[in-house]
Structure 1
Amino acid sequence: MCEMLVSVCQIDMWLFVVTVLVVLLTALILHAWRKQHYWQRRGVPVLPYLPLVGHTMYNMNVFKVGHLWRYEEYLKSRGERYVGTYDYLTPSLSIQDPQLIVAICIKDFDHFVDRRNMDMTGTDTEVMNDSLTNATGNHWKHIRNQLTPAFASGKMKDMFHLVQEQSTTLMSSLRQRRDANCLVNVKESFNSFTLDVIACCAFGLETNTLGGENKEFMEKAVDLFKITFKAMVKFILFLLFPKLVKFLRISLSTPALRYMEKVVRDTMVARRNGVRRGDFLDLLLDARELTKEQEGEVDPKGVKKGGLKDSTIVAQCILFILAGYDTTANTLCFAAALLARNPQCQARLRAEIAARIEGNESGKLTYQDVMECKYLDAVLSETLRMYPPAHLLERKCTKDYSVPDSDVKITQGMFVTVPVYSLHRDERYFPDPDTFLPDRFMPATKNDIPSGVYLPFGAGPRMCIAERFARMEARLALADLIMNFDLSVEPGSEELKVSKEFGILRPDPASLNLILRDAASNAAGATGAASDATGAA
C-alpha cells in the first residue's frame, strides 16, 4: 500500500513538473509571438525572420553573409519606405527611403542623437565609455565639440607630412615584398601602413611595422579585431543582461585593449615635457586642461564646458585604431583590386597625378594636390560605393518620433537601421551598380546622386568625424601606388571576392601583380594618357 502511494506521489510530481514546464513554454512562446508581431499589428511589412532570435542570426552571418542577405531582401521590398526587423524579440525599423534617411540622420537628428552603445560603467573597460562612438547625449556632444577642431582642414594639412613619410615607406616595402613573379599580398602591406599612420598621428609613436619592427604592437592591433567564441558570448550576454555581467564581474577587457591603454598613457606622460609633433595626440592634449572657472559648468543646451579628461583622450586614441585601421586598409585593397581590373581607369588616374607632380618643384604631391585631384577622389568614392566598410548604419531613438506621412511611431529606445550596401547597389540611384565607374563621382555628375543614398561615412552630426583624414590617407597611398607600379590581377583570381567574416566588408586575401615603374616611363606616358583621359571625361 505504501509503495502504491509513493508511486502515485511520484507520478503526480512528474505530472506537476511537466505541467509547469508546458505552461512556462507556452507562456514563452506566446510572449515571443506577441513581441515578434509588433510591426505586423501596426501594418508595417516585416522581413522574414526566425522565432525567438528574429533577424539577429542573419546580421551575424550565421546563415548567410549579412550584407548579401539584406541586399536580397532589399530587392524584394525596395518599394517600401521602411520594413520591420527584430533584434531577438526587440522591434527595430530598417529605413529604405532616402528622404526618410535624411530626416532621421540630419533634419530630425535631435530625436536620434545616440548610436547603439554599451555602458561600461563598473567594468574593467570603463574607459571606453568616453569613446566618441560609445558616448551618448550631452556627453557625446561635449566630446564631439572638443574633437571637431582636430579634424579641420588646417590640422590635416599639418599632419600631411607624417602620412607622406609612411606612404613612402609603404612603396619601399611593396618593392621588397614582391616575389619572383612580382606578386604581393597587398593586404598585409596596407595593414601595416594604416597601423603606422595611426601610431604616428594618434599615438605619437614611430612603430615601423612596415619594416618588420614593433611586432608586438602589430599583434595587439590585430588582436583587437579578433572575434573569438568566448568574446562573442560575453558580448551577447552584456547586450542582453548587462547588470548580471557587472554583478558577476565578468571581464570584458582583453590583453590587446589593456596594452593599447598603457601605450597611450605612457605616451601622454612622456609628451608632457617632450617635443610637440603636431599630431592628433598633441591636439587632444591641448584640449585637456579645464580652467577652474569652466569646471562643472554647462552651456544653455546642457553640454559641459571645458576640456577633455585623460580617460577621454585614451579612449579616442584607441578608437582611432578600432575605426581607422582595418577600414582604411580594406578600402585601399578594394581600390587597388578594382584598378588592377580596370586598366583604362588606372591609366587615367596616373595621368592626372603625373600632371600634378610635373608642376611641383619638389617632384612630390602636396596636400593641395591630393585633395584637389578630382579623378583620384572619384576612384576612392566609387570604391566606397561598391564596398562600404560599414554596410549597415544604425541610430537609437532618444525621444518618440512620428514617421512623416505615416501612422508609424518610433518609440524612445528603439533602433533604426539603414542598409548602406543595398542603397549603394540600387540601380535606381547608381545605374549598372556592379560596374566600377568612377565618373559617377566627377564634378559634372556627382550632384545628380540623390541625398541619403551614398553613406560610406554615415550621415548627419553622428557621421564619421575622421572622414577628411581617412580620405587624405587613402588618396595619398593610392596615388603613390599608381605612380610606382602598374597593377594587374593574379592569374586565376579575376573575380573580386569579399570575405565571409562577421563585421565590416573585407576582401578575401589575394595577391596583385605589381610591375615597377620608373620616373621616365611616368613622364613619357603622362602626355598621351592625359589626352586619353580628357577624351574619356
Structure 2
Amino acid sequence: MLVDYEAPSPTCMLITSSWAIDFVIFFITISYLVIKFYARNNDFFKKRGVKYVKPKPIVGNVGRVMLLQENTGNILKEIYDSTDAPYYGMFFFHVPYLVLKSPQLIKEVLVKEFGHFMNRTWAQAKHDEIQKNMMFFQHGEEWKLTRAKVSPVFTSGKLKGMFYILKDNGELLVDFLRKNADNVDLEKMTMRYVLNGISRCFFGINPHCLEDGVKSEFLDIIQEGSRPSTLDALRMFCFLYHHKMVDFFKLNMFNKKMVDYCANTFNDVLKTREEARRSNNMRVNDMADIIIDLKYDEEFNKNFDFGGDKVLAQPFMFLLAGNGTTTMSLTFTLYELCINPDVQSKLRDAINEMIDDYGGITYEGLMDKKYSYIDMVLAETHRMYPAIFYLDRTCTSDFQLPGTDYVVRKGEKIIIPTWALHYDEKYFPDPYKFNPERFLKRVNEDGFYYVPFGEGPRECIGNRFALLNLKVALSSIIPNFSVEKTPQTPARMKLDPVGLSAIPKGRLIVDFKPLT
C-alpha cells in the first residue's frame, strides 16, 4: 500500500522556530568568532611588560586608516607623541608591532645589529614571480646577492656617465614648460620629467614624455597604474598585515595592465641588448646590461633560479619605485618653493652662482658642497615628505634590545616611525615650517631620527641617483622660471589618506613665469 510522503517541517532545520531569530544567532556567533580570532594577540605586549596602545576589535589601532579618515603617518605620530618610552607596542589589525622611538635603538636595528633585522615584513606572493623577486621584497641571502649584483649601476662613475642624459632631460623640461607655463599640474608635469629620465638612463628607452604634442603610451599607462585607489590600498594592507589572504586570493600588488605593458617593453629591450652582445659585443652598462649579466651568472643561478618573469623584477622595481618617489619629491619641493618665495629666491641665487662658477650645469658643480643650499632644500623636502611613513623589519633571530631587558623574538615585527620622527620638535623645531637652514647643523649624530631613505645595508639603493635627478631638475627650472601661486594653489598641503606614503590630496596647480 502506498503511503503519502510527508516533507519534514521547515522548522526542524532551525535552531528556533523563527528564521529571523536564527539569523541573529548565526550573525552574533560569527561576529564573536571573528572578534576572538582578531583579539588573540591583544595581550601580546601586556604579557611582556611593554607599554602599548589598547587595540580595538578587528582594526587594532588603525581603524581611522581603514575608514580613509587619516593616513598611517599621522596615526603613528599621535601614538608617538603620547609616550616618552623608548619603545612601545601597537597593533595593525591583529598583528602586534614593536615601535622604536629611541634614535639609539633605531641605529642598533638598522645598522649595528642588522643581521637580526635583515628582512622586511611584506608578503612575498608565491604566485607572482615579478613581485616576490623584487629586491625590495627579497629576504636573506637572495637579497644580499641581488643587492651586490645590482649596486654597480649606482657607483659614482655610473652616475657621472648618466648625468649627461639627465642634463639633456632637464633641457627638454625647460622647453616643455616654456610651452606649458600656466596652470601646471605639478604631479603630472614632474612625472613626465622623472619617467623620461629613468627610462633613458636605465633602459635606453625614449618614452617621449616631454615632447609637446606627442602622445606617450608609456606615460599614460604608468600614470594610470601609479595613483593608488581604495582597492589598491586594501590590497596593500593585505600584503602588509594579511599575508594568507595574498596567497589564498592570489592578489597582485600592482596594476595588471601596467605590469603587462612594462614586461613586454623590458623583454624587447633585453632581447635587443642580447642580440647586440652576440653580434658586436656591445655593452651600455646600464640596468638592462646588469640584468643580462645576472641572467647568465652561474654562481648566482646556482643558488637562485633567475629565469622567466624573475628577470623582469628588478627593472620593474626601479621604474616603479624610482618614478613614484622621485615624482613626489619634486612635486613637493616645487610646491614648497611656490608658497615660500624667500626660499625660492635664495635657491635661485645659489644655483645661478654655481652655473656662473662652472660655466653651466655640471656634475662637479652639483656635487660641490659650496652650493649646499640645493642639498638643504631637498633634505627639508624629504624631512617633511618622506618616501614612506615608516620603516619595517622582521626579526630573524632572538635579540635583546641594548640597555633594556626586552628580547625581540624571531618573527616579531618592528616599526620605525619615520614621519613621527621627522616632525618631532626635539629634533626639528617648528617642524611644519619649510626651513632648509635647519640642515646647516648635522643630523643623526647620536642615533637615527632622520631616515628618509632608510639607513644601513638596506637603505634605498637608488637614493644617490634620485638626488642627482632632483638637483638637475631644480637647476634647470629655478633659474628660468619663477614658480608662482594661482587661485587654485592650496595654501596648506593636505595629504591623501590612501597609501603608505605622502601623496597630495587633489591637484597642485601653479604657474611657471619665465625669467629673463
Q: Structures share a fold, TM > 0.5?
A: yes
Please report how far the alpha carbon of residue 348 of structure 1 lies from its aligned counterpart in structure 2 after TM superposition. 2.2
- Which stretch shows the higher mean deviation, 198-207 or 397-406? 397-406
Match of 1:213 in 2: 214
Letter in 2 for 1:93: L
- Going from structure 1 to structure 2, the CA distance change for 1:468 and 1:10 (only over 3 Å counts) comes to closer
- Which stretch shows the higher mean deviation, 377-386 or 503-512? 503-512
- Separation of aligned partners in 2, 1:453 and 1:139: 29
Please report how far the alpha carbon of residue 69 of structure 1 lies from its aligned counterpart in structure 2 after TM superposition. 2.5
SS at match of 1:465: coil
Please report how far the alpha carbon of residue 410 of structure 1 lies from its aligned counterpart in structure 2 after TM superposition. 2.1
Task: Describe how 1:49-60 pairs up with structure 2 within 5 A.
Answer: 49-60=55-66
Match of 2:494 in 1: 498
Equivalent pair of 1:104/1:112 in contact (CA under 8 Å):
yes
Please report how far the alpha carbon of residue 36 of structure 1 lies from its aligned counterpart in structure 2 after TM superposition. 1.2
- Separation of aligned partners in 2, 1:283 and 1:214: 30
Equivalent pair of 1:114/1:137 in contact (CA under 8 Å):
yes
- Going from structure 1 to structure 2, the CA distance change for 1:233 and 1:437 (only over 3 Å counts) comes to closer
- Going from structure 1 to structure 2, the CA distance change for 1:44 and 1:159 (only over 3 Å counts) comes to same
- Going from structure 1 to structure 2, the CA distance change for 1:163 and 1:309 (only over 3 Å counts) comes to farther
- Going from structure 1 to structure 2, the CA distance change for 1:43 and 1:14 (only over 3 Å counts) comes to farther
Please report how far the alpha carbon of residue 201 of structure 1 lies from its aligned counterpart in structure 2 after TM superposition. 1.6
Please report how far the alpha carbon of residue 437 of structure 1 lies from its aligned counterpart in structure 2 after TM superposition. 1.7
Match of 1:525 in 2: none
- Which stretch shows the higher mean deviation, 455-464 or 508-517? 508-517
Match of 2:95 in 1: 90
Alignment gaps of 5+ in structure 2: 1-5, 277-281
Please report how far the alpha carbon of residue 404 of structure 1 lies from its aligned counterpart in structure 2 after TM superposition. 2.4
- TM normalised by structure 2 equals 0.87
Task: Describe how 1:423-442 pairs up with structure 2 within 5 A.
Answer: 423-442=421-440
Task: Describe how 1:55-66 pairs up with structure 2 within 5 A.
Answer: 55-60=61-66, 62-66=68-72
- Which stretch shows the higher mean deviation, 347-356 or 239-248? 239-248
Matched, 1:466 2:465: no
- Separation of aligned partners in 2, 1:141 and 1:191: 31
Matched, 1:46 2:52: yes
- In the alignment of these two chains, the number of paired residues is 496
Equivalent pair of 2:95/2:241 in contact (CA under 8 Å):
no
Please report how far the alpha carbon of residue 186 of structure 1 lies from its aligned counterpart in structure 2 after TM superposition. 2.5
- Going from structure 1 to structure 2, the CA distance change for 1:51 and 1:402 (only over 3 Å counts) comes to same
Q: Deviations over 1:14-65 (max 9, x none)?
A: 7997888867765654554441121122222223532122134444562322
Please report how far the alpha carbon of residue 391 of structure 1 lies from its aligned counterpart in structure 2 after TM superposition. 1.6
Equivalent pair of 2:55/2:61 in contact (CA under 8 Å):
yes
Please report how far the alpha carbon of residue 161 of structure 1 lies from its aligned counterpart in structure 2 after TM superposition. 0.7
Equivalent pair of 1:490/1:511 in contact (CA under 8 Å):
yes
- Going from structure 1 to structure 2, the CA distance change for 1:355 and 1:19 (only over 3 Å counts) comes to closer
| Residue in structure 1 matching 2:329, options 328, 331, 336 | 331
Match of 1:118 in 2: 123
Task: Describe how 1:128-143 pairs up with structure 2 within 5 A.
Answer: 128-143=131-146
- Separation of aligned partners in 1, 2:293 and 2:408: 40
Match of 1:364 in 2: 360
- Separation of aligned partners in 1, 2:260 and 2:148: 27
- Separation of aligned partners in 2, 1:64 and 1:99: 29
Match of 1:515 in 2: 513
Task: Describe how 1:239-258 pairs up with structure 2 within 5 A.
Answer: 246=247, 254-258=256-260
Equivalent pair of 1:496/1:507 in contact (CA under 8 Å):
no
Q: Deviations over 1:148-191 (max 9, x none)?
A: 12111111101111111111111111111123xxx422222101
RMSD: 3.0
Match of 1:320 in 2: 318
SS at match of 1:500: coil
SS at match of 1:512: strand
- Separation of aligned partners in 2, 1:432 and 1:251: 41
Identity level (%):
28
Equivalent pair of 2:65/2:497 in contact (CA under 8 Å):
no
- Which stretch shows the higher mean deviation, 388-397 or 311-320? 311-320
Equivalent pair of 2:125/2:246 in contact (CA under 8 Å):
no
SS at match of 1:156: helix
Please report how far the alpha carbon of residue 226 of structure 1 lies from its aligned counterpart in structure 2 after TM superposition. 4.1
SS at match of 2:382: helix
- Separation of aligned partners in 2, 1:12 and 1:493: 62
Please report how far the alpha carbon of residue 390 of structure 1 lies from its aligned counterpart in structure 2 after TM superposition. 0.9
Equivalent pair of 2:488/2:509 in contact (CA under 8 Å):
no
Please report how far the alpha carbon of residue 229 of structure 1 lies from its aligned counterpart in structure 2 after TM superposition. 5.0
- Going from structure 1 to structure 2, the CA distance change for 1:24 and 1:501 (only over 3 Å counts) comes to closer
Match of 1:535 in 2: none
Please report how far the alpha carbon of residue 136 of structure 1 lies from its aligned counterpart in structure 2 after TM superposition. 0.7
Equivalent pair of 1:288/1:310 in contact (CA under 8 Å):
no
SS at match of 1:285: helix
Task: Describe how 1:7-46 pairs up with structure 2 within 5 A.
Answer: 26=32, 29-46=35-52
Match of 2:274 in 1: 272
- Going from structure 1 to structure 2, the CA distance change for 1:8 and 1:367 (only over 3 Å counts) comes to closer
Match of 1:290 in 2: 297
- Separation of aligned partners in 1, 2:302 and 2:511: 59
Equivalent pair of 1:284/1:308 in contact (CA under 8 Å):
no
